[in-house]
Amino acid sequence: MTDRDHSPRPAALGLTGLAVGLGIIGVAIGFATLLGITATASGGGDTTEYGPMAVTAASSLALGVLLIVGAVLLWRAHRAARVVIAVAVALLVVSSLARMVVDSVTFISVLGSVLSLCALVAMGVLLASDGVRDHVREGVPLRLT
């Protein structure tokens, strides 16, 4: 087989990029929020009402890591990649819908929810695409040439 036989698949590259990008954002937000809560608590501030924020930050951190792991698995064309990313996307959809119900309605909250759902729909479409399915079935890792 030549190098042209295993050219990068645009759908697999796109899904990998989206998963890594959203994963890094989730890890960064979750870590920064948990760090802020910890700093507030160590400074003697009252953190009793920060419980929901801590749970949200921890879940953001965990989902971010799950997306990054899924992207690495997809890059390596591992069979579990589609399942890992699908679980993360499903949990993010539930999280986005719950945030839309619980959060107060502001321009930023609506914009953030709409953009989140658009990104998740794009990930779902790419996840179900033939390009990603073929990439995982062939088992040949992606390469940037």
**Domain ranges, ordered by start, for the chain:** 9-138
pLDDT in tens, 98-111: 888 877 778 887 88
Give the pLDDT of residue 120: 92
C-alpha closest to that of 66 among 99, 19, 33: 19
Give the pLDDT of residue 2: 45
pLDDT in tens, 76-86: 999 999 999 99
Q: Give the whole-number percent of the chain exceeding pLDDT 70.
A: 94
Query: Taking all residues of the chain, what is their mean pLDDT, rounded to a whole number?
Result: 88
pLDDT in tens, 23-41: 999 999 999 999 998 888 8
Question: Would you say 16 and 123 are in contact if contact means Cβ atoms under 8 Å apart?
Answer: no
What's the rounded Cα separation, in Å, for the pair 70 and 76? Answer: 10
